[in-house]
Amino acid sequence: MAPNENIDSLVLISGGPLSTTLLYSSIASGDKPLALHYIMKSRDLSTSENASKEIASEAKVTFRTLNVDERNLDFNSRIMATIIREFMGNDEEKERQIGPAILISMTVTYAIKNHIPKVYFSLGGEDKYDFNAIDNINKILEHHNCQILTPFRGKKSSDIIEESRKLKIPIDKTWACETPTLKGTECEICYKCKIKKKYLNK
The Cα–Cα gap between 187 and 110 comes to 33
Closest by CA to 2, choosing from 79, 80, 111, is 111
* H or E element in which residue 113 lies: helix 94-113
Q: Quickly list DSSP for 7-29.
A: --EEEE--SSHHHHHHHHHHHHT
In terms of CB distance, is 171 or 190 closer to Zn ion? 190
Site for Zn ion in 62-121 (CB under 5 A): none
45 binds Zn ion (CB under 5 A): no
| Site size for Zn ion (CB under 5 A) | 4
Q: Dihedral (C-alpha) 136, 138, 139, 142: value to the nearest 10 degrees?
A: 170
CB closer to Zn ion out of 98 and 187:
187
C-beta of residue 38 within 8 angstroms of C-beta of residue 103: yes
For Zn ion, the closer of residues 27 and 45 by Cβ is 45
195 binds Zn ion (CB under 5 A): no
123 binds Zn ion (CB under 5 A): no
Nearer to Zn ion, 86 or 186 (CB): 186
Query: Residue 148: exposed, middle, or buried by beta-carbon count in 10 A (0-12, 13-18, 19+)?
Result: buried
Phi and psi torsions of 38, nearest 5°:
-90, 135
As measured in angstroms, the least distance from the Cβ of 125 to Zn ion is: 18
Q: Indicate whether 187 belongs to the interface with Zn ion (CB under 5 A).
A: yes
Binding to Zn ion by CB under 5 A, coded x per residue (else -) over 166-185, reads: -----------x--------
Instruction: Return the range that interacts with Zn ion (CB under 5 A); candidates 22-30, 83-91, 145-153, 186-194.
Output: 186-194
Among 2, 140, 167, 193, binds Zn ion (CB under 5 A): 193
Question: In a 3-state reduction of DSSP, which class is residue 200?
Answer: coil
| Residue 190 binding Zn ion, by CB under 5 A | yes
Closest approach of Cβ 200 to Zn ion, in Å? 13
Query: Site residues (CB under 5 A) for Zn ion?
Result: 177, 187, 190, 193
